[in-house]
Amino acid sequence: MVAELYKAIIVGAPSVGKSSLVRRYQTNEFREDHTATVAADLSAIAFDFPEGKVVLTVVDVGGQETFAGLRNRFYEGAHHLIMVYDMTNKETFKRITPLHEALTDKICIQRDKFLGGSLVANKCDLKNEAVITEQEGRLLADLLQLDYIETSARTGHNVPEMFLHAATESRRLRHNI
Ligand SMILES: Nc1nc2c(ncn2[C@@H]2O[C@H](COP(=O)(O)OP(=O)(O)OP(=O)(O)O)[C@@H](O)[C@H]2O)c(=O)[nH]1
Ligand SMILES: [Mg+2]
């Protein structure tokens, strides 16, 4: 059976843990060091839904790149938007709204609907150091019409759920279900 193909983009300020989330999902590893993603990294994640196979291409856009130039084409044709901040770093949270504004101008809008997306509060293993509360996160998610999820690339908490959600929501958008 032919797989359905979808594209998700994962964006946010530098060092929030975008690449770590992808790595945790793909290889079940975690690295303490930070190597800035240059331009963007692509990965493909396959899912078996009862209705058939789904392949989600994940475009992990380097944080520097995201804010340096929105002229690039990484965003085009995306079905799902994953916006990540670091719950221990207020600056990364503040950058979500302007980034969302810039992206909604840029990303495909189907049938006058914005694409679905998630607001990801990463580094929840450091919850005792968090400066953004769950309430603040949920409020912003509601405002931007994103689904709120707390994750940790370090422990793996909610990481499979986050990518499964992206695939499920992408299907929903296409099939109008
Ligand atoms: N404690 C903790 N640290 C994390 C977590 N996720 C990532 N990190 C750390 O945060 C740093 C940045 O992680 P990256 O995944 O490289 O961040 P990024 O968002 O891809 O950064 P850019 O590619 O520069 O945009 C690294 O030192 C990681 O070890 C997490 O869930 N918990
Ligand atoms: Mg990266």
Minimum CA distance residue for ligand 1 atom 7: 17
Q: Note the pLDDT of residue 25.
A: 98
pLDDT level of residue 109 (50, 70, 90 thresholds): very low
- Distance from Cα 150 to the centre of ligand 2, integer Å: 18
Give the pLDDT of residue 39.
85
> Between β-strands 52-61 and 40-49, what pairing exists: parallel, antiparallel or unpaired?
antiparallel
CA of 171 to the centre of ligand 1 (A): 28
Determine the residue of 9, 11, 15 to mutate for testing ligand 1's pocket, defined as the one with the most ligand atoms within 8 A of the Cβ atom: 15
Strands 80-86 and 52-61 turn out to be unpaired
CA distances from 103 to 115, 119, 128, 144, 174 (A): 11, 14, 32, 12, 20
The mean pLDDT value for 66-88 works out to 80
C-alpha distances out from residue 19 to 9, 28, 61, 70, 80, Å: 12, 12, 9, 19, 17
Distance from the CA of 1 to the center of ligand 1, in angstroms?
37
pLDDT of 101 reads 84
According to DSSP H, which parts of 38-150 are helical? Answer: 63-68, 90-94, 96-106, 134-143
The model's pTM: 0.94
* Mean pLDDT for the stretch of residues 81-90: 97
- CA nearest 60: which of 127, 1, 12? 12
Q: Which domain holds residue 51?
A: 4-175
Q: How far is the CA of 83 from the centre of ligand 1 (A)?
A: 14
| Structural domain total, the chain | 1
Q: Does 161 score more than 80 pLDDT? A: yes
CB of residue 154 inside a 6 A radius of ligand 1: yes
What digits encode the pLDDT tens for the residues 30-44?
Answer: 999 999 998 889 999
Say if CB 40 and CB 60 are below 8 A apart.
Answer: yes
CATH code of residue 116: 3.40.50.300
- Nearest residue CA, atom 16 of ligand 1? 34
